[in-house]
Chains A and B, each alone.
Chain A
Amino acid sequence: MLPVSAEVVIIGGGVHGCSIAYHLASKGMHGVVVLEQKYLTYGGTGRSAAGIRQQFGTEINCRLAKENIKGFIRMKEELDTDFDLELEQGGYMWLAYTEGQLNQLRENVRLQSSLGIPSKILNPDEIKELIPLLDVEGVLGASWCAEDGHVNPHRVTFAYYEAAKRLGVKFYTYTKVVDIEIEKDKVKAVVTDKGKISTRKVVNAAGPWGKEIGKMVGLDIPVVSERHQIMVTEPVNRIIKPLILCQDDGSYWKQEPTGGFLIGMDNPNEKKGYDVGVTWQFMEEVSRRVLKKMPILRDVRVVRQWSGPYDITPDSQSIVGPVEEVEGFYLDVGWSGHGLQFAPSIGRIMSELIIGEEPFISVDVLSFNRFKTGKLIPEPACI
């Protein structure tokens, strides 16, 4: 049974929704409710390759990313969890194949360095030394940060969930939000397929479904849902620690601590919408691309493929914070494919905004308002 009222209703049981809920409750807030249309991690969270990096190209993301790393390092203790979060700081490498790409990476690294992020530019010899198994044909250089890495997205989400639950947060799965009632431009209630909850504060952390949620309060949130596919191989001996991203064809891969390779690629022609199906064309194409670069994977079997939705905005930048149009309506959407890793910093910032504290890092530049003022802040470091 749903409660009749709540202090805050968070829509979305992904890693962001769970992190916001945890941070709110840890600040002593009571009456926090999380609603999830399917099960926790159903959306982008559970389908993510879950890379963590500080190699971004906008100041706001770099600042937040530094906090994310710190957050992941202390997470096990902070959330008092038994889960192995599989945090591994094995490094993250962006390979450039054109002068233009390399120049952009140089620019990114300059920004990152100015903010205290220990990234650097590598030449092909240095790349080969770091990753001997990589075919560096055509590679002009790379940006590299040894502190970056990856986590297990399910474990992280469930660690937040367990911690939030211990602090009194109520989670309702298979509960779909169908409407949000507004009175005099203020949030009044959230209507679900299982009943109604009166509340004055609603957080839209619904990822790609955030657009539909926005419509319920009359907002046109510029988020497009786009399918991204990925596949995993059988587990094999650990041969590579860093996450590798190739900018010539958008292919990327990482080897999980348990041995399987997660392999994906960017595809500009990918299907829009919420379909989470897969195609053989992806499997063939990504195999071709990655085998050229990592021939050693030739005999490794593919076990499974899946896909997840990215919530893409016009500037590939998230939309965070309250909105002018509706009092009590908060956004945390539009992460454009790099959102999972921001759960530690943004969860905290959202909780500060909701409670009325000064956020520890200002996210004003990420506000919904920027689409009216035209002050977009395109994030160049996106996959």
Chain B
Amino acid sequence: MRKTEVLVVGGGPAGLSAAIAAASMGAKVLLVDDGLKLGGQLVKQTHKFFGSHRQSAGVRGIKIAGMLLSDIEKLKDKIEVVSNTTATGYYQDDGVVTAMTGEDVYMKIKSERVIIATGASERMLTFPNNDLPGVYGAGAVQTLMNVYGIVPGDRVLMVGAGNIGLIVSYQLMQANVEVATVVEAMPYIGGYLVHASKIRRLGVPIYTSHTILEVYGKDAVEAAAIVKLDSKWQPIPSTKRILNVDTVCLSVGLSPLIELLWQAGCKMKYVPQLGGNVVLRDKYMRTSRRDIFVAGDVAGIEEATSAMLEGKLAGLIAASDLGYAYDGWEADREDTLSSLEELRRGPLSEKIRSGLKEVVVEW
């Protein structure tokens, strides 16, 4: 049984920030991450961030990961990192977390405080042959290309015109992959205009009120059918069109990865604005189980900047629970809180704000 003071599950922006904050306070931190390298989704984000300059706006995601990792490195006396390791279970009786490194090494971890920063998974759509090779999550394609330098195919149908769908479409074109079409089931484009304009200028059509109907192919995707939707979201059969594509990218949203929180018996609530079932927590990210905190997309689908701020809060409070502190940490905490508020003040954060109203409580 490994023992630690603060266990952080997940090495993305939220988890890294949490580990840095807790270790800066003086706590002993164990960080487990299922990736081969830390950084979560940041490492594949070659685009520049929005938001305020204080929170690294204008900096590319991969650069932000580098900054966080260098902070982790500076605190290596306090932070132990275990990569390629998936937390497989949380056991309520004694609060033990089980984990597997690769397929062979099994471990148990007992920690005074646990910060769950597991992020999110890509949503799937149901349609015939959606299990054929060539059907990808858009995020997975981004990882393939930007982290491993592999293009998924030659001609792509992008399903979903949210920010991820638009950004990945552009990045596919940067990698010389043809994007046949972007379809979006909603009657409008969900992502930022700046991203949509970029791909429109390159001649890629974006069909709103359209969706994918099915995929054809023997051993892999050979074609895909798209169709227009009526005002009741029903396909209009006469509008069906076949596209010759070898790749379908699904960019239809993210779901928080909340399994550990369910297992821990934390109080949960279904809040569509935040991506589905999410955990109730106070403003410092503490859940209904006093020793468990959350941060990042697992707490509600948002973006990396808020994830980092939430991670910092969770890390500070978890360490402070154990009696750790540094000079001025309380001011730091309040500053982080107000940065979060500031970040969520704009009209684009309306959905997040209304979702948070339902899950942020006082314990």
Question: Does B89 contact A280, Cβ atoms closer than 8 Å?
Answer: yes
Question: Does B92 contact A280, Cβ atoms closer than 8 Å?
Answer: no
**Bound-state Cα–Cα, A278 to B89, Å:** 10
| Binary interface encoding of chain A residues 291-331 relative to chain B, with 1 for a CB under 8 A from any of its CBs, else 0 | 00000000100000100000000000000000000000000
Chain A residues contacting B108 (CB-CB under 8 Å) are 280
| CB of B188 closer than 8 Å to a CB of A | no
| CB of A373 closer than 8 Å to a CB of B | no
| CB of A279 closer than 8 Å to a CB of B | yes
| Binary interface encoding of chain A residues 246-287 relative to chain B, with 1 for a CB under 8 A from any of its CBs, else 0 | 000000000000000000000000000000011110010000
| CB of B327 closer than 8 Å to a CB of A | no
**Bound-state Cα–Cα, A305 to B263, Å:** 11
| CB of B93 closer than 8 Å to a CB of A | yes
| Binary interface encoding of chain A residues 350-362 relative to chain B, with 1 for a CB under 8 A from any of its CBs, else 0 | 0000000000000
**Bound-state Cα–Cα, A305 to B92, Å:** 13
| Binary interface encoding of chain B residues 86-107 relative to chain A, with 1 for a CB under 8 A from any of its CBs, else 0 | 0001011100101000010000
Q: Is the interface of B mostly helix, strand, loop or mixed?
A: strand
Question: Which chain A residue has the least Cβ–Cβ distance from B106?
Answer: A284
**Bound-state Cα–Cα, A299 to B89, Å:** 18
**Bound-state Cα–Cα, A326 to B296, Å:** 58
**Bound-state Cα–Cα, A372 to B91, Å:** 42
Shortest CB distance A232–B (Å): 14
Q: Which of B93, B96, B103 contacts A277 (CB 8 A)?
A: B93
| CB contact list, B118-143 vs A, under 8 A | none
A-B contact count (CB 8 A): 16
Q: Tell me which of B89, B92, B103 has the highest count of chain A C-beta atoms within 10 A of its own C-beta.
A: B89
Shortest CB distance B244–A (Å): 34
Question: Does A277 contact B98, Cβ atoms closer than 8 Å?
Answer: no
- Interface residue tally for chain B (C-beta within 8 Å): 9
Q: Which of B96, B103, B265 contacts A280 (CB 8 A)?
A: B96
Shortest CB distance B191–A (Å): 35
Chain B residues contacting A283 (CB-CB under 8 Å) are 89, 98
Shortest CB distance A253–B (Å): 20
**Bound-state Cα–Cα, A278 to B92, Å:** 8
Chain B residues contacting A277 (CB-CB under 8 Å) are 91-93, 265
Chain A residues contacting B265 (CB-CB under 8 Å) are 277
**Bound-state Cα–Cα, A305 to B259, Å:** 13
Question: Which chain A residue has the least Cβ–Cβ distance from B89?
Answer: A280
Shortest CB distance A241–B (Å): 28
Q: Tell me which of B93, B108, B265 has the highest count of chain A C-beta atoms within 10 A of its own C-beta.
A: B93
Shortest CB distance B166–A (Å): 36
Chain A residues contacting B98 (CB-CB under 8 Å) are 280, 283
Question: Which chain A residue has the least Cβ–Cβ distance from B88?
Answer: A302
| CB contact list, A107-131 vs B, under 8 A | none
Chain B residues contacting A278 (CB-CB under 8 Å) are 91
Shortest CB distance B260–A (Å): 13
Question: Which chain A residue has the least Cβ–Cβ distance from B93?
Answer: A279
Chain B residues contacting A280 (CB-CB under 8 Å) are 89, 91, 96, 98, 108
**Bound-state Cα–Cα, A299 to B102, Å:** 12
Question: Which chain A residue has the least Cβ–Cβ distance from B104?
Answer: A299
Shortest CB distance A67–B (Å): 40
Chain A residues contacting B96 (CB-CB under 8 Å) are 280
Shortest CB distance B86–A (Å): 11
Chain B residues contacting A279 (CB-CB under 8 Å) are 91, 93
Chain A residues contacting B89 (CB-CB under 8 Å) are 280, 283, 305
**Bound-state Cα–Cα, A202 to B92, Å:** 37
Shortest CB distance A338–B (Å): 27
Q: Tell me which of A280, A283, A299 has the highest count of chain B C-beta atoms within 10 A of its own C-beta.
A: A280
**Bound-state Cα–Cα, A230 to B108, Å:** 20
**Bound-state Cα–Cα, A279 to B91, Å:** 6
**Bound-state Cα–Cα, A280 to B1, Å:** 12
**Bound-state Cα–Cα, A278 to B103, Å:** 22
Shortest CB distance A288–B (Å): 12
**Bound-state Cα–Cα, A176 to B103, Å:** 44
Chain B residues contacting A299 (CB-CB under 8 Å) are 103
Shortest CB distance A161–B (Å): 26
Shortest CB distance B105–A (Å): 14
**Bound-state Cα–Cα, A216 to B134, Å:** 61
**Bound-state Cα–Cα, A222 to B98, Å:** 38
**Bound-state Cα–Cα, A251 to B76, Å:** 45
Shortest CB distance B146–A (Å): 29
Shortest CB distance B288–A (Å): 16
Shortest CB distance A304–B (Å): 9
**Bound-state Cα–Cα, A279 to B93, Å:** 7
Shortest CB distance A183–B (Å): 42
Question: Which chain B residue has the least Cβ–Cβ distance from A305?
Answer: B89
**Bound-state Cα–Cα, A280 to B97, Å:** 9
**Bound-state Cα–Cα, A65 to B91, Å:** 37
**Bound-state Cα–Cα, A305 to B98, Å:** 13
Shortest CB distance B126–A (Å): 19
Question: Which chain B residue has the least Cβ–Cβ distance from A277?
Answer: B92
Question: Which chain A residue has the least Cβ–Cβ distance from B108?
Answer: A280
**Bound-state Cα–Cα, A280 to B99, Å:** 11
Chain B residues contacting A305 (CB-CB under 8 Å) are 89
**Bound-state Cα–Cα, A279 to B92, Å:** 8
Question: Which chain B residue has the least Cβ–Cβ distance from A287?
Answer: B106
Shortest CB distance B187–A (Å): 37
| Binary interface encoding of chain A residues 123-164 relative to chain B, with 1 for a CB under 8 A from any of its CBs, else 0 | 000000000000000000000000000000000000000000
Shortest CB distance B281–A (Å): 22
Shortest CB distance A270–B (Å): 12
**Bound-state Cα–Cα, A278 to B265, Å:** 12
Shortest CB distance A326–B (Å): 38
Shortest CB distance B332–A (Å): 36
**Bound-state Cα–Cα, A283 to B93, Å:** 14
| CB contact list, B199-231 vs A, under 8 A | none
Question: Which chain A residue has the least Cβ–Cβ distance from B92?
Answer: A277
**Bound-state Cα–Cα, A277 to B90, Å:** 11
| Binary interface encoding of chain B residues 76-92 relative to chain A, with 1 for a CB under 8 A from any of its CBs, else 0 | 00000000000001011
Apart from the given pairs A277-B91, A278-B91, A280-B89, 13 other A-B contacts in the complex at a CB distance below 8 Å: A277-B92, A277-B93, A277-B265, A279-B91, A279-B93, A280-B91, A280-B96, A280-B98, A280-B108, A283-B89, A283-B98, A299-B103, A305-B89
Chain A residues within 8 Å of B, Cβ to Cβ: 277-280, 283, 299, 305
Closest 10 CB pairs of A and B: A280-B91, A277-B92, A280-B98, A280-B96, A279-B93, A279-B91, A280-B108, A277-B93, A280-B89, A278-B91
Chain B residues within 8 Å of A, Cβ to Cβ: 89, 91-93, 96, 98, 103, 108, 265
Q: Can you offer 16 A-B residue contacts whose CB atoms are under 8 A? A: A277-B91, A277-B92, A277-B93, A277-B265, A278-B91, A279-B91, A279-B93, A280-B89, A280-B91, A280-B96, A280-B98, A280-B108, A283-B89, A283-B98, A299-B103, A305-B89
